[in-house]
Amino acid sequence: MLELKGIIPAMLTPLTDKQTINDEVVVQLTRHLIDSGVHGIFILGTNGEFHLLSAEEKLHLARIVIREAKGKVPVIVGTGGDNTEGVIALSRQMEELGADGLSVITPYFIAPTQEELIVHYEKIAAATSLPILLYNIPARTGVHLEPETVARLAKIPNMIGIKDSDGGFDNISKYIEATKDEAFSVYAGTDSLILRTLMAGGAGAVAATANMVPEIVVSIYNNWLNGNIEAAEKAQEQMRPLRDSFKYGTLPSVLKKAVELSGIPVGPPKSPVAEVSGAALDKVKEMVSFYHNQGVQL
């Protein structure tokens, strides 16, 4: 079974001005992340705008990334949705394409009970041989996976871990404690909590900030692994200006603009999200310049 550790970028989905997948830039971004030393790639997550893409677009993106990353780093593909049967169908298609693992966000809008969530995930796990990463992001979905629920799901052989984007360290800590007796890993989905998660027994992070500053984010893990906590803390703090800038636009418009200004033309967000402009754009430019002036490799 796949064992994921380290920094796994929550990769953006590059688009053209016509709102179609930009194949060339998908290749460019994938190669850039791999060359930066990341430990895996996570596509079709929240920052990958999965909720705004058609099934055909998702498959098209996955096909390119899997091809480029094959044999270098594992590719985890988001296949979650509201409909259990739909998740299963897309998961099987991604398995056929050669994905190394799946990420399955909780259903959203319908607010299922914990028991309904368990049945949902059990059916998905039984329908694929691929390892599955649970994805908890209640601020976006309105649904929270309780630690007791995660502990039960962790007993499923191909349920290998959870990405927690709850936003608080307390929840991550509870997940780690609840699953400590299982072959199950907890990953920070909130980038400000990467080092704290590692020090508490987590396996790493699925980090959106790694799209722009992958070497900084990777250095948090590598320094922690080598026992250089002071350097890991410094790297963790270096990410603050980027994270603080996210308030200037609708997700993931700020990150897309920041990556574009850093040299990779990932294009606009998917409509109806608008590109950053005006005073907000000036703030993003200032942030990117700050990293450039600090000598950070963008």
**Which of the residues are catalytic?**
135, 163
What whole-number distance in Å separates Cα of residue 207 and Cα of residue 191? 6
Task: Look at residue 228 and give its three-state secondary structure.
Answer: coil
Structural contact between residues 48 and 78, judged by C-beta atoms closer than 8 angstroms: yes
Question: Phi and psi dihedrals of 242, rounded to 5?
Answer: -65, -50
* Partners of residue 43 on adjacent β-strands: 77
Among the listed residues 4, 3, 26, the one whose alpha carbon sits nearest the alpha carbon of residue 267: 26
Distances (CA, A) of 99 to 34, 88, 187, 243, 255: 16, 14, 19, 29, 25
Q: How far is CA 47 from the centre of its chain?
A: 7
Greatest distance between any 2 Cα atoms in the chain? 52
Query: What are the helix and strand counts (H, E) for the chain?
Result: 13, 8
Structural contact between residues 2 and 100, judged by C-beta atoms closer than 8 angstroms: yes
Per-residue buried b or exposed e for 32-42, using 16+ beta carbons within 10 Å of the residue's own CB:
bbbebbbbbbb
* Partners of residue 133 on adjacent β-strands: 103, 161
